[in-house]
Amino acid sequence: MIGGLFIYNHKGEVLISRVYRDDIGRNAVDAFRVNVIHARQQVRSPVTNIARTSFFHVKRSNIWLAAVTKQNVNAAMVFEFLYKMCDVMTAYFSKISEENIKNNFVLIYELLDEILDFGYPQNSESGALKTFITQQGIKSQHHSKDEQSQITSQVTGQIGWRREGIKYRRNELFLDVLESVNLLMSPQGQVLSAHVSGRVVMKSYLSGMPECKFGMNDKIVIDKQQGKGATSDDSAKSGKQSIAIDDCTFHQCVRLSKFDSERSISFIPPDGDYELMRYRTTKDIILPFRVIPLVREVGRTKLEVKVVIKSNFKASLLAQKIEVRIPTPLNTSGVQVICMKGKAKYKASDNAIVWKIKRMAGMKESQISAEIELLPTNEKKKWTRPPISMNFEVPFAPSGLKVRYLKVFESKLNYSDHDVIKWVRYIGRSGIYETRC
């Protein structure tokens, strides 16, 4: 298991050093500094073996977190733990910086004592930890006996991510469907590869221990329900709206066995911000933009480029922050651009024409044309045209995902599903969205 955990600043000075195992000596701290932080070459692997000791590291801004071990530990677990450690620190003092770490070193030692025991990760949900470890010193001595046992049962309990007795005057839920759509298209408009990776991010401000149920237009669920007795008409209608999810992963609050057997997503949510699920789809993706390139080589010293972009979504919706990057050859000497909408500029440092449009409604099209002057070169090698890439943000989910319901049940307190104010938002962003030309 994890033998020790060190935190360094960018210079390699130790800010935190906690050793859990006897086989890790003080020299391990220096070994990592010398061999990794001060190494001349760029780090080639997040796992380094120095004299039969293995070091795992992650970097957050200019802070190094390193876990050390001499055993055959579960490597994925160590990294997941380091990420979790970062989350916990962020939850306590927002930004991970040298200043913040020094200011909170007692707290960090206390946390490290709690979330790692003999190198075994223990409950590390900040929601639970905050009930008995605070920046203002330890609370527990002021707790009554009831409170104490409540803390311990929560830390060790099945719902370690939420504490009891949370109360809100207004029960509210915010649900964001955040998607990033990736595309690689051939010059002829053929989709070479496309996928959406999405996240469902929630903020919940709910009293008590609410039981939530989240439903979306997952094809498997919808098909199953239709199997139960809907007419074929219905299935044809809603069949279009359902989406096939390739794979999804859930926050630990979701009951996985229930998802596996019934494909229903039920959970008791953590309080505040969390990521409920991640998913990936590859079928029937709505591509918000189509890029149609036209490149013509006029002689050896001139290129004519025309690019048309078409927005392919409801006319009532507005896409934002649109940016098209048209690569230019290395020997470009000058560029003249004319565009119908937005602003376009040739950026010599990026070897690209950057065309920016603030807003664009659906079912519209716009175009840019450019004349590129080239310096004559004696290079035999032809310019391999890099793809045209695009960035944008649209107010819908390109995967077609729709939230069908998010029900809240809290049997002990007197509020019902109707009393909860729910907000749903869809944001689709471009991932790697490229068209070859």
Going by the DSSP 8-state scheme, the letter that residue 341 receives in this structure is S
Residue list 52-111, contact with other proteins (CB under 8 A): 52, 54, 56, 58, 69-77, 79-83, 99, 102-106, 109-110
In this structure, what are the phi and psi dihedrals at residue 80, rounded to the nearest 5 degrees? -60, -35
Among 172, 275, 365, 393, binds other proteins (CB under 8 A): 275
Nearer to other proteins, 132 or 392 (CB): 132
Please tell me the count of residues contacting other proteins according to CB under 8 A: 93
Distance of alpha carbon 321 from alpha carbon 359, whole angstroms: 7
Residues 110-149 that bind other proteins (CB under 8 A): 110, 113, 117-118, 120-125, 132, 137-138, 140-141, 143, 145, 148-149
- According to DSSP, the residues that pair with 280 across neighbouring strands are 197, 247
Shortest Å, Cβ 297 to other proteins? 20
**Which CB atom, from 195 or from 341, has the smaller least distance to other proteins?**
195
Beta strands in 251-331 (DSSP E): 265-267, 272-281, 289-298, 302-311, 318-327
Examine residue 14 and tell whether it contacts other proteins (CB under 8 A): yes
Q: How far is the CB of 34 from other proteins (least distance, A)?
A: 14
- Per the CB < 8 A criterion, the answer to whether 64 and 5 are in contact is no
Does the protein bind other proteins through residue 15 (CB under 8 A)? yes
Cβ at position 295, least distance to other proteins in Å: 18
Range 342-381, binding other proteins (CB under 8 A): 380-381
**Shortest distance, position 424 Cβ to other proteins, whole Å:** 21
- Using rule CB under 8 A, residue 250 touches other proteins: yes
Q: How far is the CB of 157 from other proteins (least distance, A)?
A: 8
* Residue 429 bridge partners (DSSP): 180, 393
Site for other proteins, residues 157 to 176, rule: CB under 8 A: 157-158, 160
Provide the mask over 378-417, with x wherever binding to other proteins is found by CB under 8 A and - wherever it is not: --xx--x---------------------------------
Task: Figure out which of the listed residues 11, 38, 152, 409 binds other proteins, where binding follows CB under 8 A.
Answer: 152
Rg (CA), the chain: 27
What backbone phi and psi angles, to 5 degrees, belong to 132?
-135, -5
How far apart CA 7 and CA 64 sit, in angstroms, is 6
Structure tokens at 172: 């509210």
Give Cα separations from 306 to 8, 148, 296, 363, 367 (angstroms).
51, 70, 9, 20, 7
Return d(Cα 112, Cα 15) in angstroms, integer.
13
